[in-house]
Amino acid sequence: MMLVVVIATAMIAAAAVLALVRLERGPSMLDRTVAFDLLTTTIVGAIAVEAAWSRRTESIPILVVLSLVGFVGSVTIARFAAVEPEGEGRIRTAEEVAAEDAARQAALDARDAARRRAESAELKKNAEEEQP
């Protein structure tokens, strides 16, 4: 059991050091958020290893709270960091949806008509070349 605890502690320590480096270097807010989430996870892992080694169950509520804090923090930062295009954050009316569908269908029809004209012109050209 002691060997497993030592190996797990070494791996957790390495993960914590790497997370701290990424937390300090960044370069973006999302990089720091992921590093902070990893650091929270390594703290949870360290507490879990200590609880398993000492065979104490009093630290389980601490694990749950830390996990929830890490999750809520990451989701909150990701929510505010997400960039939504202007006008995408609201529900569209039925008329707006119908207008967008009509515009999309008109664009498809125009593309198909242009394709048919090009094919027709190519067929005429091929027919003229075949005639002596």
- Domain residue limits at 48: 2-81
33: Cβ contacts below 8 Å, ≥ 6 apart: 73, 74, 77, 78, 81
- Residue 111 lies inside a defined structural domain of this protein: no
Domain contains 118: no
Whether 10 maps to a domain, the answer reads yes
The reply to whether 89 falls in a domain is no
Residue 31 lies in a domain: yes
For residue 59, give the CATH number of its domain: 1.10.287
**Per-residue pLDDT in tens (0 to 9) along the chain, 132 residues:** 889 999 999 999 999 999 999 999 988 888 888 899 999 999 999 999 999 999 988 999 999 999 999 899 888 887 887 666 666 667 788 998 999 999 999 999 999 999 999 999 888 888 887 776
Question: What is the number of domains present in the chain?
Answer: 1
Task: Enter the pTM of the model.
Answer: 0.58
Cα–Cα dist 9/51, whole Å: 12
